[in-house]
Structures are given as structure tokens and as C-alpha cells.
């Protein structure tokens, strides 16, 4: 309940700020710009298809046995397209280059578990959060031993593996600045480094650490009892399009109020019902 209240409050405040901004009297330059620019929302509606940029992170987005994409973000993207009344085109993109790809017009939106950061916000606009993700650490039993605090990993003798371009990379730099950090493009590469005993620990957003610890109990474990960060997850779009952003913000508000977002998050992050679809 506390989570729902916080989310609702954040949504309300974001929408309030947005509304106040829209009510300001436009300058002549603003009016001229608005008259020329066509909202990406209108472009999507006329095209009849929304192009969605994403990368694979379990259980946000992944392939099932038949090669189809499934996961929480896939559900979110499909529901968003349905509510728009358009078809959907998924555009798989490496995470390290996903913002540049959005800016060059390869797709209309990033729906991929992207956390809001000031650095990213300089390049793109974010919707109000539609979910929150916590950062955790999963460690090698052989190399890490009995370490149980972040401080235990913050030393030059420790190697941490993270995925390039993710919030985990920034979090590791801030919380474990003394440790040596290894970067890989693919999630599977970071996991193999850990399982093969070439790194002391992996930092990533849950439920990946939790899932790995359950699956490979003989090799790895969770040093911390709780996530050590909590980051807002939002849609990312190109700057300068208030109509598009307004629609996305209201979509989040409606689907949060109805419980649709919470129900689907619960299914993908806290149940095992979908595991047979990828094994």
C-alpha cells in the first residue's frame, strides 16, 4: 500500500507540474514552433503503427521457445498500442546505443525498463514513472565468501560485473568506487562471468539477482537482504512534444488506477508461471 501511495503521489505531482506548464501563455516563438511541429503522437496515429525500442532484460523483455518476445515491457507496449488503436513494431536495440537510436528516429519510444537519470533527461523526456526497480547485488560463493555488506565489496581486490549503459553501471561507480568494474554489452555475458568464477559479484536491478540466486544456489548468493536503491522506470521520448508526453502520462495514470500495471508487474516479477515459456 505504501508503494501505491508513493506512486500515486508522484504521478499526481508530475501531472500537476505538467499542467501548470501548459497553462503558461506561449510566446510568439512558441506559437510559431507549435504551428509547424507535428506531434509524434499524430504521426503514430496516421501511420497506424508505433515503433518501440527495447533491449532484452529478464523478465522485462525476453524470447520464448518460439522466438517471440514476452515479458513485462512487452505487455506494457502491447497494451499501450492497443489503447492507441495502432499496430506495434518492436525494434530490438543494444542498450548502450538505445537513446541515440531514439534521437535519430529509429523508433517512437523506449519501453525497456529505463530508469530516470539527470544525464539521460538531458537528451530525452521521461513520462511519469509507471514502475519502480530496485538495485541489488549477487555474489560468487567461491570468491566472495561470507560478505554481507556493500562495504565488503568496496575495495581494489574485488571485481564487479555490470551491463554497459545501464543504471547498474552508474550505481556501481557511486556505491563501489574502489572496486574494479567489468562492462559487457549483453546480460548473458555478465551472468556467465559470475557463474564461471571470473568476478566476485554482479550488480543489476531485481529480479535478476534474486532469480539467479534461486537458480544457482550452489554457486552464488545474495549478500544483502534488501535492494540498496530504488529507481523510477519511465517511457522515454524525444524532446519538445508535449501532446505525446501528456498522452503517455495520462496512460500511466489510468492504468495505475485500474491496477493493470500492478497486476502485470506482479505476474512477471513475483510468479513462476511464465518460466516454462522460456525453458
pLDDT digits (tens, 9 = 90+) for 197-217: 999 999 998 888 988 998 899
Give mean pLDDT, residues 105-116.
95
Residues in CB range of 48: below 8 A, 6 or more apart = 86, 87
pLDDT category of residue 57 using cuts at 50, 70 and 90: confident
Cβ atoms of residues 131 and 76 within 8 Å: no
Express as a percent the part of the chain with pLDDT over 70: 87
- At residue 129's C-alpha, the angle toward residues 113 and 117, to 5°, is 70
The pTM score is 0.74
Whether the pLDDT of residue 26 is over 80: the answer is no
Q: What per-residue confidence (pLDDT) applies to 167?
A: 86
Is the pLDDT reported for residue 32 higher than 50?
no
What span, in angstroms and rounded, lies between the C-alpha atoms of 196 and 192?
6
Q: H or E element: which one contains 256?
A: helix 242-257
* CA-wise closest residue to 84 among 23, 127, 26, 41: 41
CB atoms within 10 A of CB 198: 13
pLDDT of 147 higher than 90: yes
Question: What gap in Å lies between CA 35 and CA 61, rounded to an integer?
Answer: 38
Average pLDDT of every residue of the chain: 88
Predicted confidence at residue 211, as pLDDT, reads 86
- Domain parsing of the chain, residue ranges: 2-7+38-130+234-277, 135-229
Q: What average pLDDT score do residues 223-230 get?
A: 91
* Gap between the Cα atoms of 77 and 85, Å rounded: 12
Q: Write down the CATH number for the domain with range 2-7+38-130+234-277.
A: 3.40.190.10
**pLDDT value at residue 35:** 38
Report the CATH superfamily, name and number, of domain 135-229.
Answer: Periplasmic binding protein-like II (3.40.190.10)
Name the helix (H) or strand (E) containing 132.
strand 131-140
Which comes out higher in pLDDT, residue 58 or 262? 262
Amino acid at each position: 500500500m505504501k508503494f501505491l501511495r508513493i506512486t500515486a503521489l508522484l504521478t499526481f505531482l508530475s501531472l500537476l507540474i505538467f499542467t501548470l506548464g501548459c497553462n503558461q501563455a506561449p510566446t510568439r516563438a512558441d506559437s510559431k514552433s507549435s504551428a509547424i511541429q507535428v506531434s509524434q503522437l499524430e504521426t503514430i496515429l496516421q501511420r497506424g503503427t508505433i515503433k518501440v525500442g527495447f533491449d532484452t532484460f529478464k523478465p522485462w523483455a525476453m524470447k520464448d521457445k518460439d522466438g517471440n518476445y514476452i515479458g513485462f515491457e512487452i505487455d506494457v507496449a502491447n497494451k499501450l498500442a492497443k489503447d492507441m488503436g495502432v499496430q506495434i513494431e518492436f525494434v530490438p536495440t543494444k542498450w548502450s546505443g538505445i537513446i541515440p537510436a531514439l534521437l535519430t528516429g529509429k523508433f517512437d519510444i523506449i519501453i525497456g525498463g529505463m530508469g530516470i537519470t539527470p544525464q539521460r533527461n538531458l537528451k530525452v523526456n521521461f513520462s511519469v514513472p509507471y514502475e519502480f526497480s530496485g538495485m541489488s547485488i549477487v555474489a560468487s560463493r567461491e570468491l566472495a565468501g561470507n560478505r554481507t555488506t556493500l562495504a565488503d565489496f568496496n575495495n581494489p581486490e574485488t571485481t564487479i560485473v555490470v551491463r554497459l549503459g545501464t543504471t547498474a553501471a552508474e550505481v556501481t561507480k557511486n556505491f563501489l568506487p574502489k572496486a574494479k568494474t567489468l562492462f559487457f554489452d549483453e546480460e548473458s555475458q555478465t551472468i556467465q562471468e559470475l557463474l564461471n568464477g571470473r568476478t566476485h559479484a554482479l550488480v543489476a536491478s531485481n529480479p535478476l539477482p534474486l532469480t539467479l540466486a534461486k537458480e544457482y544456489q550452489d554457486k552464488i548468493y545474495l549478500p544483502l537482504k534488501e535492494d540498496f536503491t530504488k529507481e523510477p522506470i519511465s517511457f522515454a521520448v524525444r524532446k519538445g512534444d508535449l501532446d505525446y508526453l501528456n498522452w503517455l502520462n495520462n496512460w500511466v495514470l489510468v492504468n495505475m488506477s485500474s491496477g493493470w500495471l500492478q497486476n502485470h508487474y506482479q505476474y512477471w516479477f513475483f510468479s513462476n508461471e511464465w518460466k516454462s515459456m522460456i525453458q
